[in-house]
Structure 1
């Protein structure tokens, strides 16, 4: 048996967790993946950009194309967005540039990145556990609520997960193949660079935590000698340093805010008030674990069911001389380890660990129930896939038939209905910004500071559309009589249109 006490050996390749599937199962498996693919494509078109997260990032990408500033994302015209690096913005901006200022353009390249992640994950898992187990792992991953949503959601997490997944897969190849995995060694650093451009140093930390702990518990430190440190780090620097340098030069102060504010104060200061672009997501410390359970449904429940077989689980981990199961477990829980003490979190923060969780669940299913799926396993897997596909199809059906019934915080309908009533309406929003309104009006929104500002709309010679809180509707009607016609409530705002001759 190879041991890391011997400088000339590398980590043992694990024995494949062989999964025997009848040929008759394959049409159902491929059919499920096809339905997930089609449903997600349909949802790209049907689901409008909603406030605040997705529409904010979509509007930032739209502004990038409009202003042709590809270095500094803009929170508003002339106001830099320092909260995140621009990789996800570049992806969305590229789609908008090619396909127009719409949901498809904003989401398509993020979706393609998700498909590429699944492809790489499948090919990597196939070399470890065989075709069948790899295929089931892809089914599990792609049907989790979080991955399905994030796979075409305009935000940072999918791009970062792509980088961390690439690094973690590459490191395992290094651990099992040693110097022969030279390409994988460089891909490890490419993954880190992608993470740095997607979300910053947190991506490096999320990669480093499971690797460090895995090396520590198995005393596998010799694996590190097979990393191409010099050329790999040089490659990572070449890929990341130019943007960080240009961003700081263009808008001084970026590095201080991004490194300290976004990567320290945001997570340790409850109700952090330093956010330049909104407010922190204050949660009870430790709630990230609940977020993981919800994000990984229904498979997290099946994983919980496996805890009722402690003896088989202990045996599986104990006999795993290669350490694959412990590697996947640490990779899975790395986000929870990092964010347990954090006060400002989102459920999407667990996304980088989901690929490992999917593969680990598949392997442990074989360990506990055997290589040939039992009736219990078939029921659990089939029910889980059917449930999630059913939920996603139902969502698409509702979006197609009655989108307003979902009460989404989006103003796509607002813009559409107002534009049908009058030509060239001017949109006015009382109070804070609505990024979806900005996106669908191509940035042409006037934010009114207070109620008195409504009076100034009378003399601008344009047909104004006014958006206020529903509780303010009566106040507007009392103050301005029949000057405004109530259109309805859209995007959780009361929408009124100025009366002119003929409308």
Structure 2
């Protein structure tokens, strides 16, 4: 049974409306649930292969940073700068590989650390304003939501940016409601802005402003910003971000124009934007971000439906005891959705910055509307474990013990098979570029779409392998000559190895 308690300040006013107290068994259940998700994600860090194109691309960019020693300009290919994103996430992956070796764990470990930072920030913040038990449930909700769980150790920009936006939003709210430590929280707000600017760019600042500006207007608290540490805070943000932006433009002129105009304007307003130097635009119907948001918050978005009829009343509550809590969470949750509603070039991960607020909002509203979190929270968490945890665990086990079953978007199994014949084998791919093939061969892979390139593989003094799409294997195999034989099919490709008859290297 869950006991509901109301907390009061020294003046007798209700301070934490709707706060609830969990029984010991409930607390233990949620702690075990978080540990279970942690264990599954840790296995995936070690066993899950890099897949094309997003994660493999960023992992390969980080690997090139370690190999070349160039920590200023990330490289899309050797000598070709990557202007698409700032380097903070690349620095984290490169540092991990520098410390732990070039591999999946090194590339992912500090991204995973960033996700733990987000969970810690959410827990400490909700505990401060709504009590430890509500904080525990909210943290469980966020950790087990589909997008957060998947992105928590995924080599990409979004989780690191989420750390920055979460820190900024939490620090700003604490500044507005706390007394003695106001200036400190104000400066932490700018540290979060700096993290966002180095992780993904000005979009992090825009999302934060979209959430804060209407909240200040609705609550009428603009005057309280007079004491905000603007000068020291902006100095901190500038000191943390400007050196890299300046050095990047000096080292590769043209970066700022492409990054600020192309990546932050044309990418989102131009359908099927053709100016992308590193891929192609993802043309989607405008407004699709709202559907993406519901999908990224699964399975918890389904459990939000029962509180919707009462949600508006709770959000309008602006009493002294509420301190604008619900309105703050709502605006934080929808800020990225508002920003990307008119955008034609979007991905589901763009909804990620609002998920911490969505988790806290769901738990807070349910505690007020339903009043008894025990049974629903346990059932919902079990659903999340089955829906997210077990599904992810199953695929992770397959990746470890039957890699051929999930080779459609990763070249790890093919590269491993080729290298079993000769660790120094030279692999040539027919067709487009594969970042996972580049990563697993440490950049020692070639790509071609010309059969004339096969002639150079004959008697060149090296042991060669060729990966050909299965749909074209019968057509292209004759061009390889009799020295090559099929070594197996790996996802959509067939591997041909030179001197196939000789024994594998032990």
Query: Which residue in the other structure is 2:418 paired with?
Result: 418
After superposition, the Cα gap between the structure-2 partners of 1:450 and 1:378, relative to the gap in structure 1 and judged at 3 Å, is: same
For 1:183-262, list aligned pairs within 5 A. Answer: 183-262=184-263
State which drifts further: 373-382 or 321-330.
373-382
Query: Which residue in the other structure is 2:5 paired with?
Result: none
CA distance in 2, matches of 1:414, 1:39: 25
Q: Is 1:356 aligned to residue 357 of structure 2?
A: yes
Query: Which residue in the other structure is 2:117 paired with?
Result: 116
Question: Unmatched 5+ residue regions in structure 1?
Answer: 1-11
Query: Which residue in the other structure is 1:469 paired with?
Result: 469
State which drifts further: 474-483 or 101-110.
474-483
CA distance in 2, matches of 1:480, 1:395: 35
CA distance in 1, matches of 2:183, 2:17: 23
Query: Which residue in the other structure is 1:388 paired with?
Result: 388
State which drifts further: 403-412 or 333-342.
403-412
Aligned length: 488
Instruction: Note if contact 1:179-1:226 (Cα within 8 Å) is conserved in structure 2.
Output: no
Query: Which residue in the other structure is 2:4 paired with?
Result: none
CA distance in 1, matches of 2:435, 2:275: 21
After superposition, the Cα gap between the structure-2 partners of 1:227 and 1:251, relative to the gap in structure 1 and judged at 3 Å, is: same
Deviations 1:230-277, CA, capped at 9 Å, x for gaps: 000011000000000000000000000000000000001111010111
CA distance in 1, matches of 2:201, 2:261: 11
Q: How far apart are residue 283 of structure 1 and its match?
A: 1.3
Q: How far apart are residue 432 of structure 1 and its match?
A: 1.8
Deviations 1:449-499, CA, capped at 9 Å, x for gaps: 423322222142222111222211111223345332112232532221122
Instruction: Note if contact 1:14-1:320 (Cα within 8 Å) is conserved in structure 2.
Output: no
Instruction: Note if contact 1:178-1:223 (Cα within 8 Å) is conserved in structure 2.
Output: no
Instruction: Note if contact 2:92-2:110 (Cα within 8 Å) is conserved in structure 1.
Output: yes
For 1:53-452, list aligned pairs within 5 A. Answer: 53-177=54-178, 180-307=181-308, 310=309, 312-321=310-319, 322-370=323-371, 372-373=372-373, 375-376=375-376, 378-452=378-452
CA distance in 2, matches of 1:177, 1:13: 16
Deviations 1:325-362, CA, capped at 9 Å, x for gaps: 01101111111101111111110111111100000000
Deviations 1:154-207, CA, capped at 9 Å, x for gaps: 000000000000000000011112564111100000000000000000000011
Instruction: Note if contact 2:454-2:479 (Cα within 8 Å) is conserved in structure 1.
Output: no
Q: How far apart are residue 27 of structure 1 and its match?
A: 1.9
Q: How far apart are residue 500 of structure 1 and its match?
A: 5.7
Secondary structure of 2:137's partner?
helix
CA distance in 2, matches of 1:30, 1:461: 58
Q: How far apart are residue 26 of structure 1 and its match?
A: 1.9
After superposition, the Cα gap between the structure-2 partners of 1:463 and 1:247, relative to the gap in structure 1 and judged at 3 Å, is: same
Give the alignment's TM-score, normalised by structure 2: 0.93
Query: Which residue in the other structure is 2:9 paired with?
Result: none
Secondary structure of 1:58's partner?
helix
Instruction: Note if contact 1:369-1:377 (Cα within 8 Å) is conserved in structure 2.
Output: no
Q: How far apart are residue 318 of structure 1 and its match?
A: 2.9
Question: Unmatched 5+ residue regions in structure 2?
Answer: 1-12
After superposition, the Cα gap between the structure-2 partners of 1:236 and 1:407, relative to the gap in structure 1 and judged at 3 Å, is: same
Secondary structure of 1:488's partner?
strand
CA distance in 2, matches of 1:216, 1:491: 55
State which drifts further: 159-168 or 286-295.
286-295
Query: Which residue in the other structure is 1:31 paired with?
Result: 32
What RMSD in Å do the two structures reach over aligned CA positions? 1.8
Q: How far apart are residue 215 of structure 1 and its match?
A: 1.2
Instruction: Note if contact 2:451-2:479 (Cα within 8 Å) is conserved in structure 1.
Output: no
- Which structure 1 residue ranges, 4+ long, deviate > 6 Å from structure 2? none
After superposition, the Cα gap between the structure-2 partners of 1:100 and 1:71, relative to the gap in structure 1 and judged at 3 Å, is: same
State which drifts further: 24-33 or 197-206.
24-33
CA distance in 1, matches of 2:376, 2:49: 39
State which drifts further: 282-291 or 181-190.
282-291
CA distance in 2, matches of 1:162, 1:52: 23
Query: Which residue in the other structure is 1:6 paired with?
Result: none
After superposition, the Cα gap between the structure-2 partners of 1:500 and 1:470, relative to the gap in structure 1 and judged at 3 Å, is: closer
CA distance in 2, matches of 1:154, 1:376: 33
Instruction: Note if contact 1:410-1:490 (Cα within 8 Å) is conserved in structure 2.
Output: no
After superposition, the Cα gap between the structure-2 partners of 1:129 and 1:16, relative to the gap in structure 1 and judged at 3 Å, is: farther
Instruction: Note if contact 1:20-1:373 (Cα within 8 Å) is conserved in structure 2.
Output: no
Instruction: Note if contact 2:75-2:82 (Cα within 8 Å) is conserved in structure 1.
Output: yes
Query: Which residue in the other structure is 1:3 paired with?
Result: none
Give the alignment's TM-score, normalised by structure 1: 0.93
Deviations 1:35-56, CA, capped at 9 Å, x for gaps: 1111111110110111101011
State which drifts further: 36-45 or 170-179.
170-179
